[in-house]
Amino acid sequence: MSELLAGKTALVLGVANRWSIAYAISSAFVREGASLILTYQGERQRATVEELGGELKASKVLNCDVTKPEEVESLVASLREAPGKIDAVVHSIAFANRDDLSRPFLETSRDGFLLALEVSAYSLVTVARAVAPLMSNGGSVTTLTYLGSTRVVQNYNVMGVAKAALEASVRYLASDLGPRNIRVNAISAGPIKTASARGIKDFSKVLDSVASLAPLRRNTDPSEVADAAVFLASDLGRGVTGNVVFVDAGFQIVGIGLSE
Ligand SMILES: NC(=O)c1ccc[n+]([C@@H]2O[C@H](COP(=O)([O-])OP(=O)(O)OC[C@H]3O[C@@H](n4cnc5c(N)ncnc54)[C@H](O)[C@@H]3O)[C@@H](O)[C@H]2O)c1
């Protein structure tokens, strides 16, 4: 079968390590023939992401903390120099204070709320606005979300509110960018053990619960999320925009499930 992303250049934000969902997506993109550019969040991540970028033959590995406008600007300046054109963007970024993912949502501080919303939702707007001028042949922007945006998931708290804002942002961005043939979608992934997920209190109980109740009776594998990201970034996804695509072993359809 021919490669689905041959000739396309993809910018992937959010690889922290080998367990990151963005890493699984990057690997699948390379498998499908894409040329890859990765970003890392500050010096602390630099060596790891450069090493992973080397394995994936990324053409560039660039610094970008999405809350720092000057770093977003210098990212875009570097992209403009080379490769000059971007076809696909993956935004796989979120953050909330650990305290806010363990105590009642009612206790969320103003600072914690604003921080979660800035990093996890507004950054999609920042990135889309910055990169869209480089998507001169149209393209695809994909972000990662979670069911906690529309349902109460214990301890997900302010991150659920941020994901609700993120999903609404997907729809408004899809509307603004559609006339330029730029599609904007979210993948709602089932729970996956990553560094970020470990920050949520009792996360391993969530994994157990999902595996026993999801129609497929198992958890989500990062490679499944990655293959959906390939679809959205490829020409196969050309008619899909403003959507939230669930890759969660079907858990989102469960009303009342009785654990076996
Ligand atoms: N793991 C899950 O169960 C799950 C499920 C659904 C959705 N998601 C979403 O997937 C995305 C990726 O998370 P992950 O689980 O792979 O964890 P991860 O910790 O591997 O990735 C999170 C990334 O966000 C980056 N980040 C945080 N603040 C940033 C900033 N200011 N600037 C730039 N980058 C910043 C981190 O550096 C890291 O690379 C997140 O949006 C997360 O909410 C995760």
The boundaries of the domain holding residue 165 are 9-245
Does residue 255 lie within any of the structural domains?
A: no
Distance CA 178, CA 170 (A): 11
Task: Decide if pLDDT at 148 tops 80.
Answer: yes
Q: What is the mean pLDDT of residues 101-122?
A: 97
Q: Which atom of ligand 1 is nearest to the CA of 146?
A: 6
Task: Decide if pLDDT at 1 tops 70.
Answer: no
Task: Decide if pLDDT at 257 tops 90.
Answer: no
Coil/strand/helix, residue 246: strand
pLDDT band (50, 70, 90) for residue 258: confident
Task: Decide if pLDDT at 124 tops 80.
Answer: yes
Residues 6+ apart with CB under 8 A from 106: none
% the chain with pLDDT above 70: 99
Does residue 109 lie within any of the structural domains?
A: yes
Does residue 258 lie within any of the structural domains?
A: no
Q: Residue 202 maps to which CATH number? A: 3.40.50.720
**Which protein residue has the closest C-alpha to ligand 1 atom 34?**
41
pLDDT tens digits for 54-71? Answer: 999 999 999 999 999 999
CB 243 within 8 A of CB 206: no
Task: Decide if pLDDT at 73 tops 80.
Answer: yes
Active site residues: 146, 156
Name the residue of 27, 120, 144, 207 whose CB sits within 8 Å of the most ligand 1 atoms, as the mutation to test its pocket. 144
Q: Structural domain tally of the chain?
A: 1
